[in-house]
Structure 1
């Protein structure tokens, strides 16, 4: 059964708006994690900045995290996923041990506000001075088809660990 026909069988009232700003911006990675999605589009989250300050098992390597910043904005991917997909992500994102799953309200490009779910690293799981690995950063760059050129170019010049 194809992923699209599987999605047609899911009750659309149970859809979750999930905002990915890190490696889950890569749709291939989402599928590998068992997360089927109805849609995938750009969402800009104001009031936050992207940092690679989430500690991981590799020393000095950092994963993506968002931190509040009144002047900031984060471009990411808004996926519409199922509850099962969200539970799969919980496992991969080490929720609740390392990330908290939060609900935020954001403007939907001038339309009504929408509620989104995303992950924010627990403060005790963050550290300044970390850098993403090139392979990790490449997952973010896989969203080039939806990102603004400016944001993509900012990501492209992020210094990596390797």
Structure 2
């Protein structure tokens, strides 16, 4: 009996390891987009991914044909949404510095799911517990914000250089 449990545990660990080897890079990218951190400095994204993967591993035997990537992404999104919307009143906890910094957390979440992950509007709405019309508005707003060039002050104008005589 112990040998069978040990072999099942080893098989479970190998399967999960293979899943992580194949999916962790993309999931980390999703987490980094959500947190709007830069890829080289993304501690919040790494923490979100670690917690989501731990949850997936804990329920690995109960997946029963379910897609582990979808389950992990769902957990990642849920944790991000909970931390951002409920604990911080819709504001990001840390000051993000990545390319998606111009977006509000909900807009960023919808944009990442719809545009990067390719989730359908109805699926995104169901995952986030929002009406499909609201998801459409958030996505449109995010795309419009990303299409606008970022405001940068004009460089200082210097006068003509005069050569010393």
Q: Where on the TM-score scale, by shorter chain, does this alignment land: which range?
A: under 0.3
Q: Which has the higher contact order (CA 8 A, sep 6+)?
A: 1
More helix by percentage: 2
Rg (Cα) greater in structure: 2
More strand by percentage: 1
